[in-house]
């Protein structure tokens, strides 16, 4: 990848670019090696423009939001990591909240509260960005993004055009969407959410309740990427892992949390290969014990 191209991007899109930057600083797992370059666009048109140019030049790239569902390999990423968290605008129009792809989901739920809008309480506590949450249809406490997404503006890298997708076109299902199905074809630029008028005290009470349940049940004191596995149809995956006797099991610095068996935590010095080995061990053990196939939820950067 040429220095020239990188300098061109820097000047054209007025974005910060870092070279040989440790990606672990941008993930909730705090694991992984360096990216050749990390680019920080500050607005959605720059994000689309940067992606278009990198794609045209055949340069390997990836889009990262808050890095809270991501495992970066120990040998890093030999390409350009584009981090969206600078695109963080949030605005309210009646019962609709608009947000840039890099806006924090937690801030979005607080904004819903401030505007007396209900429907986003479940997202209070999910440490992702709007783009990452739409990408994987994030959810909690029997609600998910698909229930409130109004529209989503994205850049289609294959057709080289901007698209506005409505809820149906996003083809949401459990932790899945058109974006996840097509991996890196679409870059989510912004999204809007249709909420309902509600009572501020009730909204706040529900948010506080969800947050205290998280604090009580999840190992928030350790770096992690949330639930390591998806729900297997008909089963609670964390219970399967627990029943297989794996709570507390560790490989290197990666451990099945004692507090919540669905979480793999970094006890301080975990490598990506520790996490991957542990995930494999969990899958094999659960399959042997209960005959159930479980699927990873964490995106592994390649």
Give residue for tokens 């220095």: 3
Which residues, in sequence order, are CB contacts of 235 under 8 Å at separation 6+? Answer: 290, 292
Residue 228 found at the interface with ligand FAD (CB under 6 A): no
The 8-class DSSP code of residue 176 comes to: B
Other beta carbons within 10 Å of 234 = 6
Closest separation in Å from C-beta 283 to ligand FAD: 19
Task: Name the β-bridge partners of 27.
Answer: none
Q: Which of residues 192-221 bind ligand FAD (CB under 6 A)?
A: 218, 220
Closest separation in Å from C-beta 156 to ligand FAD: 11
In the bound state with ligand FAD, the residue whose beta carbon lies nearer, of 73 and 245, is 73
Q: Which of residues 56-95 bind ligand FAD (CB under 6 A)?
A: 62-70, 84
Rg (alpha carbons) of the chain, rounded to whole number: 19
Pairwise CA distance, residues 56 & 125, whole Å: 38
Other beta carbons within 10 Å of 115 = 18
In the bound state with ligand FAD, the residue whose beta carbon lies nearer, of 230 and 289, is 230
Quick one: tokens of 299?
């995106």
Instruction: By CB under 6 A, name the one of 33, 100, 119, 131 that touches ligand FAD.
Output: 131
Residue 124 found at the interface with ligand FAD (CB under 6 A): no
Pairwise CA distance, residues 147 & 204, whole Å: 20
Instruction: By CB under 6 A, name the one of 109, 129, 177, 271 that touches ligand FAD.
Output: 129
Is 175 known to be catalytic? Answer: yes
Pairwise CA distance, residues 100 & 180, whole Å: 19
Cβ–Cβ under 8 Å, residues 172 and 70: no
Output the CA torsion sign for 43, 47, 52, 57: positive
Greatest pairwise CA separation for the chain in angstroms: 57
Closest separation in Å from C-beta 143 to ligand FAD: 10
Span from 120-128, 204-212, 230-238, 268-276 in contact with ligand FAD (CB under 6 A): 120-128
**Which residue in 104, 129, 175, 257 is the catalytic one?**
175
Is 258 known to be catalytic? Answer: no
Residue 255 found at the interface with ligand FAD (CB under 6 A): no
Residues 21-60, one symbol each (x = binds ligand FAD by CB under 6 A, - = not), give: -------x--------------------------------
The 8-class DSSP code of residue 229 comes to: B
Which of the residues are catalytic?
Answer: 175, 227, 297
Which residues form the interface with ligand FAD (CB under 6 A)?
28, 62-70, 84, 101, 126-129, 131-133, 135-136, 138-140, 179, 187-188, 218, 220, 224-226, 299
């Amino acid at each position: 990848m040429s220095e020239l191209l990188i300098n061109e991007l820097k000047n054209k899109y007025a974005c910060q670019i870092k070279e040989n930057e440790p990606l672990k600083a941008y993930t909730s797992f705090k694991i992984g090696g360096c990216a050749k370059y990390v680019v920080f666009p500050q607005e959605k048109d720059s994000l689309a423009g940067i992606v278009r140019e990198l794609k045209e030049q055949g340069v390997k790239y990836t889009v990262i939001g808050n890095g809270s569902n991501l495992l970066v390999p120990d040998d890093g990423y030999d390409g350009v990591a584009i981090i969206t968290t600078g695109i963080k605008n949030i605005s309210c129009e009646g019962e609709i909240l608009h947000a840039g792809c890099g806006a924090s989901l937690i801030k979005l739920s607080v904004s819903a509260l401030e505007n007396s809008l209900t429907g986003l309480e479940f997202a209070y506590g999910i440490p992702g960005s709007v783009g990452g949450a739409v990408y994987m249809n994030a959810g909690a406490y029997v609600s998910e993004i698909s229930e409130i997404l109004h529209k989503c503006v994205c850049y289609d890298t294959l057709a080289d055009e901007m698209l506005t997708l409505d809820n149906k076109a996003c083809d949401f299902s459990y932790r899945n969407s058109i974006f996840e199905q097509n991996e890196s074809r679409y870059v989510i630029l912004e999204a809007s959410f249709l909420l309902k008028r509600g009572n501020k005290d009730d909204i706040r009470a529900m948010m506080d309740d969800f947050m205290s349940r998280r604090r009580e049940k999840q190992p928030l004191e350790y770096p992690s990427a949330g639930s390591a596995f998806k729900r297997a149809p008909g089963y609670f995956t964390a219970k399967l892992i627990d029943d297989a006797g794996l709570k507390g099991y560790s490989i290197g610095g990666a451990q099945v949390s004692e507090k919540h068996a669905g979480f793999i935590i970094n006890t301080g010095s975990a490598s990506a290969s520790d996490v991957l080995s542990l995930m494999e061990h969990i899958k094999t053990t659960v399959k042997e014990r209960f005959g159930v196939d479980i699927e990873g939820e964490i995106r592994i950067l390649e």
